[in-house]
């Protein structure tokens, strides 16, 4: 299939969401399938879990706060039976983390069970209306229960013998009243072998099997059972039976769909021999960086080939300004991209927090090109920034890892990362893949302007060398582990870098915060003496990203200032840097020498490993850090 980003191989990678939905209708017992699906989504981030299975007469529900292991224990003690049902892992948005607030939720009759990702913004007004006009009583504090009651109330008011059509129409009518985002699945105790799914702003995929069908918020939950998937669009409603499905829109129109073949299997979303997904994905970076470049380097013309941008050479030459927008790790990759594109292409670049871009009036000229960067392609703020940019008439491209994501579908073109599934909540290989792609964009634009063919050739050589250099960096893992043990009692850490590696310092601090919960800050090295030096003390380590480059001497000066104040120092360096810093730094990590534009890929990985090893030593849950989810699909 030719993707929106051009005629490239389409890897249907899983959208990452804040909580999980799994639904099943078929011939097998639903409980093991639903529980297995939830376990495959466990890393997403959640605080409670539950299932609702129709046993032929009524809906059996098991739900509780805490881990899926708690739910599994409940299901073992009193096994639910039935061949169709829905399940959910919740990440609280409305209501405390309690058994009562866990999904699924029921309507007033107790016959409709519903699970929901997203936020119903007008739930309070809907709840008040249902209480006032229908005498509805609610048992939870959630917005989700309100939606279940609304659907049930409308269902009771619709006449007709076809109960399936009545339930679809009731769902459609309810969703027309909803303001907010949703990915939902629901079942009715009186309607055999039938479930409904719908989405707006929160991913939902239909898995198509033989005499069985699935619903899931992430295809990784069902890939062990089927690799045929339909990625639902916003405002789609799907009615699912064991042997068929029908897709329509909230407006009542027939929905267009395409069955896609998922290009990865259950083994690709397993940890393999690694203790954590995060470590596995750190070690996958030689391949993910290689795949980001695969087929995109033109050695004959000394440039990059990015047909998915959907722009002619003339249109690319006319670009006078680039805006990069994203959130979290994607924003840090964009900050590296700012240095890359400005140096390689000599085009002004501005980086915007996606959450700020969509709400402020950013002055932009007519020849501005906007890139929305998101691993999942579903990040709410980044999607909002993309839509705002397009609303104002600017060509807006995507850089993402999910061919079926909303950003991939709605953007004007872009570049797929081809990084494979990233399961760990703390992004690792997505960062280096995004930086690699931004380097390709810089090379492409630069060769259209001032870069000579020999300069382009040297850039390509440096890029092609990266996978092997990454492999040598990964061999430092045990050394980095021993360093991590030395500083595991620290209450916080400072990260410093300059130029290309200032964003790497930000990313290193973010990794440390995400999985160790330690205080960590990233700063430009030169800002040390502008206030930050007041924090330096013997129990607060400073990590300097200081490769042997044009600003190495400046970095060394800052390092010596920290040393003079008895601050512990860890340095990432290359070339002659280790020799010059011997006796100054407490610990030195040497990486391969590379051109300045390529160093962020190499310097980021030791910081990922450092954060990982500190977190493991502290006993933290690396793959499921507290309060975090893989991707934020609600504001």
User: Which residues are marked as active site?
Assistant: 19, 630
Burial of 259 (0-12, 13-18, 19+ CB in 10 A): exposed
The three-state DSSP-derived secondary structure of 463-476 is: HHHHHHHHHHHHCC
Contact 394, 369 (CB under 8 A): yes
Only one residue has tokens 């610990």, namely 587
DSSP string, 57-78: SSEEEEEEES-HHHHHHHHHHS
How many other CB atoms are there within 10 angstroms of residue 300's CB atom? Answer: 8
First to last CA, the chain: 33
Helix (H) or strand (E) holding 587: strand 587-590
The token duo for 13 is 């990678």
Cα(405)–Cα(205) distance, integer angstroms: 11
Counted residue by residue, the chain has a size of 635
Only one residue has tokens 């044009």, namely 550
Burial of 254 (0-12, 13-18, 19+ CB in 10 A): exposed
Burial of 365 (0-12, 13-18, 19+ CB in 10 A): exposed
How many other CB atoms are there within 10 angstroms of residue 7's CB atom? Answer: 10
Cα(138)–Cα(404) distance, integer angstroms: 36
Cα(356)–Cα(323) distance, integer angstroms: 13
Output the CA–CA distances (angstroms, integers) from residue 437 to 182, 282, 309, in the order listed: 32, 18, 12
The three-state DSSP-derived secondary structure of 208-275 is: ECCCCEEEECCHHHCCCCCCEEEECCCCEEEEEECCCEEEEECCCCECCCCCEECCCCHHHHCCCCCC
Helix (H) or strand (E) holding 36: helix 30-40
Residues 6+ apart with CB under 8 A from 558: 496, 525, 526, 528, 529, 544
Contact 494, 535 (CB under 8 A): yes
Contact 217, 20 (CB under 8 A): yes
Cα(600)–Cα(501) distance, integer angstroms: 6
The token duo for 204 is 């939902």
The token duo for 511 is 């990794």
Chain centroid offset of residue 394 CA: 25
Give 120's DSSP letter. B
Cα(175)–Cα(147) distance, integer angstroms: 8
SS3 34: helix
């Amino acid at each position: 299939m030719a993707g929106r980003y051009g005629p490239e191989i389409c890897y249907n990678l899983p959208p990452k969401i804040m909580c999980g939905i799994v639904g099943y209708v078929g011939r097998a017992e639903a409980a093991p399938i639903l529980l297995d699906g939830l376990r495959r989504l466990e890393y997403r981030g959640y605080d409670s879990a539950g299932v609702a299975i129709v046993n032929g007469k009524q809906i059996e529900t098991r739900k509780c706060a805490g881990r899926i292991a708690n739910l599994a224990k409940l299901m073992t003690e009193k096994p639910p039976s039935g061949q169709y049902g829905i399940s959910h892992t919740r990440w609280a948005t409305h209501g405390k983390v309690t058994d009562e607030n866990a999904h699924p939720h029921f309507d007033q009759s107790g016959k409709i069970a519903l699970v929901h990702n997203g936020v119903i913004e007008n739930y309070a007004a809907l709840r008040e209306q249902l209480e006032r006009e229908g005498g509805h009583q609610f048992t939870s504090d959630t917005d989700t229960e309100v939606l279940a009651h609304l659907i049930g109330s409308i269902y009771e008011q619709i006449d007709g013998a076809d109960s399936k059509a009545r339930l679809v129409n009731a769902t459609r009518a309810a969703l027309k009243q909803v303001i907010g985002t949703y990915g939902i699945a629901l079942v009715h105790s009186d309607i055999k072998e039938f479930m409904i799914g719908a989405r707006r702003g929160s991913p939902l995929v239909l898995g198509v099997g033989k005499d069985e069908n699935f619903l899931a918020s992430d295809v990784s939950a069902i890939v062990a059972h089927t690799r045929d998937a339909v990625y639902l669009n916003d405002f789609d409603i799907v009615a699912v039976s064991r042997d068929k499905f029908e897709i329509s829109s909230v407006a009542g129109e027939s929905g267009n769909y395409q069955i896609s073949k998922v290009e990865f299997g259950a083994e690709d979303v397993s940890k393999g021999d690694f203790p954590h997904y995060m470590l596995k994905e750190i070690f996958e970076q030689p391949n993910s960086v290689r795949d980001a470049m695969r087929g995109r380097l033109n050695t004959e013309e000394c440039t990059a080939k990015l047909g998915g941008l959907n722009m002619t050479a003339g249109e690319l030459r006319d670009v006078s300004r680039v805006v990069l927008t994203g959130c979290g790790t994607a924003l840090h990759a964009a900050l590296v991209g700012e240095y890359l594109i400005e140096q390689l292409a000599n085009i002004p670049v501005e980086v915007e927090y996606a959450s700020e871009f969509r709400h402020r009036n950013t002055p932009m000229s007519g020849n501005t090109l906007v890139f929305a960067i998101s691993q999942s392609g579903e990040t709410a703020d980044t999607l909002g920034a993309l839509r705002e940019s397009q609303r104002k008439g600017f060509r807006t491209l995507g850089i993402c890892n999910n061919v079926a994501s909303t950003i991939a579908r709605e953007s004007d073109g872009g570049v797929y990362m081809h990084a494979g599934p990233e399961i760990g909540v703390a992004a690792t290989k997505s960062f280096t893949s995004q930086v690699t792609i931004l380097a390709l964009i810089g090379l492409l634009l630069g060769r259209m302007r001032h870069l000579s063919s020999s300069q382009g050739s040297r850039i390509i050589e440096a890029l092609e060398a990266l996978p092997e250099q990454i492999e040598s960096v990964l061999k430092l893992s045990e050394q980095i582990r021993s360093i991590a043990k030395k500083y595991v009692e620290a209450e916080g850490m400072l990260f410093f870098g300059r130029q290309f590696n200032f964003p790497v310092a930000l990313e290193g601090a973010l990794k440390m915060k995400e999985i160790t919960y330690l205080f960590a800050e990233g700063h430009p090295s030169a800002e040390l003496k502008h206030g930050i030096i007041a924090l330096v003390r013997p129990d607060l380590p400073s990590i300097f990203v200081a490769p042997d480059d044009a600003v190495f001497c400046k970095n060394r000066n800052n390092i010596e200032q920290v040393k003079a104040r008895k601050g512990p120092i860890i340095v990432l360096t290359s070339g002659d840097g280790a020799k010059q810093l011997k006796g100054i730094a407490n610990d030195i990590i040497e990486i391969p020498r590379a051109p300045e534009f390529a160093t962020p890929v190499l310097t980021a990985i030791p910081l990922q490993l450092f954060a990982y090893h500190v977190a493991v030593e502290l006993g933290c849950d690396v793959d499921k850090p507290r309060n975090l989810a893989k991707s934020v699909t609600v504001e």
